Structures are given as C-alpha cells and as structure tokens.
C-alpha cells in the first residue's frame, strides 16, 4: 500500500493515453474527413492505432 498513490497516478495516465489514441484513431477515420487531402489525417490515425495498442498492452501491478 506504500506505492498505491503512484500506481493510481500511472494507471490514470495510461488510461488517458489509451483513450487519446482511440479518440484520434476514431476521429481520423471518420468518413467526412476522407474528403480532405491533408496527409496529417492518415498520420493521426496511425498514431492513434499505435498509441492505443501500446498503452493497452502495458501492465502495471500495485
């Protein structure tokens, strides 16, 4: 129980980053954005996929 505050803080950060990744991937793959020729949208979608997967696989134990 000594490190519970640190664990909660890191787990919150991990969940937040995973959520950011999922949100970026979902927003970048929205059909209305497919009409845009901006090359940043596929980059954001790829970043979101990698971020969501990497933070989803992270495990920290109290």
The residues spanned by each domain of the chain are: 18-62
Distance of CA 3 to the CA centre of its chain: 25
Look up the pTM and report it. 0.73
Phi-psi region for residue 37, left (φ > 0), alpha (ψ -120 to 50) or beta?
alpha
Query: Following CA atoms 16, 22, 27, 31 in sequence, which dihedral angle do they give, to the nearest 10 degrees?
Result: -170
Q: What is the pLDDT along the chain (62 residues), one digit of tens a residue?
A: 677 888 889 889 989 999 999 999 888 888 888 788 888 888 988 998 998 888 887 776 66
Rounded CA gap, 61 and 3, in Å? 10
């Amino acid at each position: 129980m000594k490190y519970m505050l640190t664990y909660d803080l890191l787990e919150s950060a991990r969940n937040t980053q995973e959520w950011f990744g999922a949100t970026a991937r979902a927003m970048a793959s929205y059909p209305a954005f497919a009409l845009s020729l901006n090359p940043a949208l596929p980059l954001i979608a790829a970043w979101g996929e990698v971020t969501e997967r990497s933070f989803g696989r992270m495990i920290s134990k109290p």
